[in-house]
Amino acid sequence: MQAVKNLISKAAVHRHEATLMGTHFELTVVSTEAAWAIERINSALAEIKRVDKLLTTLSEDSQINRINHNAGVAPVKVSGELFKLIQRSLEIAELTQGAFDITYGTNSGYANVMLSVTEHTVFLKNKGMRLYFGGVATGYAADRAKYVMQIEGVSNGVINAGGSLVTWGMQPDGSDWTIASADPEQCEQPYADYSISNMAIATSVNRQNELAGGAKSVCVMSPSAELAGALTNPIIMLGVSVGTELVNRLQQIACVFVDEYDQVFASRHMVLNEIV
């Protein structure tokens, strides 16, 4: 669906690939110092692993599992980081009227998640409810990895986390980081490219037999991979018309759709450079 254009000098670019959180990550750093770049990448990988541990349900003593085990029983005190992530997730659920939802199970629903700002507690009102962060976990990990590399001095880079990209700075030649987007059925024939420097982008492809609202695929651009990843599925479910209308009401968010007739529709914030 998308790929960072290979317009950069390989001598100044250092990449590392890893499978973490069940996702293929590719981390790219622009630097003239290979050893320094690898150290920064290793710091980012460590941060991704830390986020994975924070959001996992595979560990019995994880904060998420403690919340889930106490559903319908008692509030659970959590770290400030997790509390804020849950807050943001509930805000997105509200924005999308539940199309995005971090809850599942019996009598679930984002409206049944009770937060105490003063106590930093999370309470699932109904027994059988569960929290799951599949819609935001890899995006949040990518954002955190970017943050770690930036504070360690990386001025230009890209993190590819499966269907999400987050970029900052510029390519070695001073140009923007750019992606090319294509019909998911004709990936070798991109229809347009656009700048994504200092932004994040996530993609969702509708693989259902019946296309919701005529949408075959959508790319969502936002300041964070967490937000872009959370919005892609709800927006494609809403369809081209309603999804674009929602995005047009938001600040610093843009999207581009491919519909069932292979026509391209962009929100008012998206500037496409047509490829001929």
CA dist 219 → 98, 139, 224, 251, 273 (Å): 20, 14, 13, 16, 15
Is residue 206 within 8 Å of residue 173, measured between CB atoms?
no
**Nearest-5° Cα angle at 205, 204 to 207:** 140
Cα Rg, the chain, nearest whole Å: 19
Q: Where are the beta strands (DSSP E) in 133-269?
A: 157-161, 164-168, 178-181, 192-195, 200-205, 215-222, 254-259, 264-266
- Sheet harboring 2-4: ordered strands across? 2-4, 178-181, 192-195, 273-274
CA-wise closest residue to 4 among 190, 185, 149: 190
| C-alpha dihedral sign at 154, 15, 43, 51 | positive
Q: Tokens 């759709």 map to which residue?
A: 257
| C-alpha dihedral sign at 263, 268, 270, 274 | positive
- How many C-beta atoms surround the C-beta of residue 199 within 10 A? 21
Q: Answer yes or no: is 135 a known binding residue.
A: yes
CA 193 to chain centre: 20
Is residue 135 within 8 Å of residue 88, measured between CB atoms?
no
Task: Please enumerate, by residue number, every residue annotated as part of a binding site.
Answer: 135
Please report, in range form, the residues annotated as the binding site for Mg(2+).
135
